[in-house]
Chains A and B, each alone.
Chain A
Amino acid sequence: MRKPGQDRLGIVLVGLSGVAVCVALGMVFFYAPREAAMGEVQRIFYFHVASAWVGFFAFFITFLAGIGYLARGERRWDILALSSVEIGLTFITMTVITGALWAKPAWGTYWTWEPRLTISAVQLLIYVAYGMLRAAIDSPERKARFAAVYGIVAFVTVPLSWFAIRWWRTIHPDILTSGGGMATTPKMTQTLMVSLAAFTLLYVTLLRQRIRLERAADALARLRLRADRIGK
């Protein structure tokens, strides 16, 4: 196993992500205009949407990894799945919390069943369920297999939930949130795009680190097995 000092790609990724996030941050605070209705608080929006995107994208990767594992049966697919879940869970938690922090000044209450907030909460619940499922199984093979199945079925319901929640809110609008729109300008869209790109890069960097961590854990387990055999 290579020593950390030789992990060139890792260092490059960390550097790039760092730069990208700083650029995005700069744009959020200095390039994007002050929004008419909400004022400064609106600046939460960019990173909030970016983390929502990562939360969803990470889940999509877990879905693909699940298919990969069921098709191939190789441990690396399972490693990808569980790594993506850990990163995704962090980001979706970010989304929900910042969503609440955005809702309070915008609509006066910390929680509203607004579509994006609601679907993020649903994804959070699914992530947690996935984690609990993995934790409740001892056999590594079964853990990987069951998690793969759940990841696939669960992800498939997310777009359906999104539509259901959207229609539900269209028919029964929250008096609080309907009418609360944002006046978007091109600069805001650009800032959002850059934020999305920066967060995606951040996701890839963190994912890679988490995968390496899991491989190290596997290596340790193999070493332990060798040690046991020798009888140490």
Chain B
Amino acid sequence: MSIYLVAAYVVFWGLTFLLVISIWARQRRLEQQIAALQSRLEENEA
């Protein structure tokens, strides 16, 4: 199996996963921050 073929598919999968994980990680962090802020605001209004 050609090394170039392997490398190319590593690139496809690698970049796709990097993008997916990047979006997922940022989404999680945002959701945590939103939840934290929301609960603090609710506390404050109570």
Contact = CB atoms under 8 A, between A and B. Distances in A.
* In the complex, A touching B (Cβ < 8 A): yes
Interface of A: 1, 4, 39-41, 43-44, 47-48, 51, 86-87, 90-91, 93-94, 97-98, 101-102, 104-105, 202, 206, 209-210, 212-213, 216-217, 219-220, 223-224, 226-227, 230, 232
Contact of A220 (B2, B8, B33, B41): B33
Interface of B: 1-2, 4-5, 7-9, 11-12, 15-16, 18-20, 23-24, 26-27, 30-31, 33-34, 37-38, 40-41, 44
Contacts of A232: 40-41, 44
Instruction: Tell me the dominant secondary structure on chain B's binding face.
Output: helix
B30 A40 contact: no
B23 A101 contact: no
Contact of B23 (A41, A43, A206, A223): A206
A75 to B, nearest CB: 16
13 contacts: A40-B5, A41-B4, A87-B19, A98-B8, A105-B4, A209-B23, A209-B24, A210-B23, A216-B34, A219-B34, A223-B37, A227-B40, A232-B44
Contacts, number: 84
A90 B15 contact: yes
Contacts of B23: 206, 209-210, 213
Contacts of A51: 12
Contacts of B27: 4, 209, 212-213, 216
B37 A220 contact: yes
A220 B12 contact: no
A4 B19 CA distance: 18
B2 A41 contact: yes
B31 A216 contact: yes
Contacts of B20: 206, 209
A16 B15 CA distance: 19
Contacts of A47: 8-9, 12
